[in-house]
């Protein structure tokens, strides 16, 4: 291949790797999602600096990103606090995400290839295994991969961008939804139906299932939040 095919002579392209900043944001985000940093509590900045071997400057830059996602609240002269999710937040966010996921399901059924569906099916079986083992963190990780993959299969960059802007705020709530074993079992059954609808490319049914799946989580999340508030945790 000559230079004309490659592009301008002397041009170099550097592959992008995750930066310390991005990794730090993701690690703290995960600590919030799995409740190692509990909602309504102050972020222990000194402890986190020691844990990750960093100075206050990169930590505070990471906290600003998480504040823009609604996960952290920055209070003047009081530091950073993990934002308390309220039932009102859930009522505001879940219908929006439900509508976005419903649209993604409809579009995914139009655009997904057999290979795409096989990929989602493989993820589903992996998630089912974690459910059988009672491994909630791994179940949740794969669950999010499935929802994200269906969103990608919709093939609509604008839809994906809007979804991504809200995903972090609702991801923590999704995790809370499975605090009840009964609800977790129900969610697994709902995912069986979601896979079947995608496999048969029944866009109307998949849209309805994804929307109802999220709204069912909404009620479970609100119960958990109210219990936490009542306990003062």
Closest CA to 87 of 224, 232, 231, 230: 224
> Phi and psi dihedrals of 202, rounded to 5?
-95, 85
pLDDT score recorded for residue 166: 84
What confidence tens digit (pLDDT) does each residue in 141-157 have? Answer: 899 899 999 999 999 99
Predicted confidence at residue 232, as pLDDT, reads 67
CA 124 – CA 131 distance, rounded (Å): 10
- Quote the pLDDT of residue 152: 97
**Cα–Cα dist 72/69, whole Å:** 8
User: Which residues are within 8 A (CB) of 230 and not within 5 positions of it... i.e. 6 or more apart?
Assistant: none
Q: What is the pLDDT of residue 11?
A: 43
Q: What is the pLDDT along the chain (233 residues), one digit of tens a residue?
A: 444 443 444 444 444 555 888 889 989 988 887 778 988 899 999 999 999 999 999 999 999 999 988 889 999 888 999 988 888 988 998 899 999 999 999 999 999 999 999 999 999 999 999 999 999 889 988 998 999 999 999 999 999 999 988 877 777 777 777 667 888 899 999 999 999 999 999 999 999 999 999 888 888 888 878 877 777 65
37 close to 232: Cβ distance less than 8 angstroms: no
Domains of the chain: 20-82 (1.10.10.10), 87-231 (1.20.120.530)
Cα-Cα-Cα-Cα torsion 99, 94, 142, 186, nearest 10 degrees, comes to -100
For the chain, state the CA radius of gyration.
Answer: 20
């Amino acid at each position: 291949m000559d230079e004309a095919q490659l592009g301008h002579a002397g041009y170099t392209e550097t592959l992008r790797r995750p930066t310390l900043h991005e990794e730090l944001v993701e690690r703290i985000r995960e600590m919030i999602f799995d409740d190692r940093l509990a909602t309504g509590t102050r972020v222990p900045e000194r402890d986190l600096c020691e844990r990750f071997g960093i100075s206050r400057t990169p930590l505070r830059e990471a906290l600003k990103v998480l504040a823009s996602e609604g996960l952290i609240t920055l209070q003047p002269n009081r530091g950073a606090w993990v934002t308390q999710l309220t039932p009102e937040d859930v009522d505001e966010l879940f219908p929006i995400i439900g509508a976005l996921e419903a649209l993604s399901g409809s579009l995914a059924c139009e655009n997904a290839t057999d290979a795409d569906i096989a990929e989602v099916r493989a993820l589903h079986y992996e998630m089912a295994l974690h459910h059988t083992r009672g491994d909630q963190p791994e179940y949740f990780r794969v669950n999010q991969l499935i929802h994200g993959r269906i969103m990608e299969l919709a093939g609509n960059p604008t839809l994906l961008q809007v979804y991504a802007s809200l995903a972090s705020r609702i991801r923590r709530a999704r995790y809370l939804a499975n605090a009840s074993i009964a609800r977790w079992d129900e969610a697994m059954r709902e995912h069986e139906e979601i896979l079947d609808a995608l496999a048969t490319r029944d866009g109307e049914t998949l849209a309805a299932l994804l929307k109802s799946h999220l709204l069912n989580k909404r009620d479970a999340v609100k119960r958990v939040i109210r219990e936490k508030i009542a306990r003062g945790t």
